[in-house]
């Protein structure tokens, strides 16, 4: 059975990163963007990372420019933004597609393992995003800052839709750390 640990991704500098390196760690994988209304979530993600990294939490950010081109920069520009604006110390990897024919295989796997709970209970956010992407498949990543929680064994535990803040998932993380 395939787990997240079976995938390889690219670091921002182009180096290959095997996710097997994170075996034994709790992972929070997030598609991120620098010019989104949700970009301030970087602050909460970084606070969560600093508080829990010694307990086995790793956060991996994957920039994507698929949502209204809100991540237009180069990998180097994204790194600069993350460090200077939010003092991000968790890994922000190379820019990827999270949906469509060129979707990174990791995100194809994440979406299949945790199709999400994107629906009317998200209120105006749901209405706005649904209007922008009316034909999106049910498992598609709908917007920036979708988060996937992955267990120490590489199995996907849960998906959090974009409006769910890092602070709101802290309690969930505690049961796995």
Q: Which residues are catalytic?
A: 36
Q: How distant is the alpha carbon of residue 149 from its chain centre?
A: 9
3 state SS of 41:
helix
DSSP letters for 113-126: H-----SGGGTHHH
Helix or strand (DSSP H, E) at 173:
helix 166-174
* Residues whose CB falls within 8 Å of the CB of residue 36, separated by 6 or more in sequence, listed in order: 67, 70, 71, 143, 144, 145
- Are 59 and 90 a contacting pair, CB within 8 Å? yes
């Amino acid at each position: 059975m395939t787990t997240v640990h079976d995938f390889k991704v690219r670091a921002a500098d182009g180096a290959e990163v095997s996710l097997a390196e994170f075996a034994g760690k709790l992972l929070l994988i997030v598609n991120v963007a620098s010019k989104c209304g949700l970009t301030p979530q970087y602050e909460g993600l970084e606070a969560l990372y600093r508080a829990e990294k010694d307990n086995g939490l790793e956060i991996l950010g994957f920039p994507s420019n698929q949502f209204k081109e809100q991540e237009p920069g180069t990998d180097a520009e994204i790194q600069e933004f993350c460090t200077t604006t939010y003092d991000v110390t968790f890994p922000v990897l190379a820019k990827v597609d999270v949906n469509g024919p060129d979707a990174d295989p990791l995100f194809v796997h994440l979406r299949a393992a945790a199709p999400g709970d994107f629906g009317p209970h998200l209120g105006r956010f749901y209405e706005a995003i649904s209007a922008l992407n009316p034909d999106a498949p049910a498992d598609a990543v709908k917007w920036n800052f979708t988060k996937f929680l992955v267990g120490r064994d590489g199995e996907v535990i849960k998906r959090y839709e974009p409006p769910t803040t890092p602070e709101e998932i802290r309690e969930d993380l505690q049961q796995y750390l």
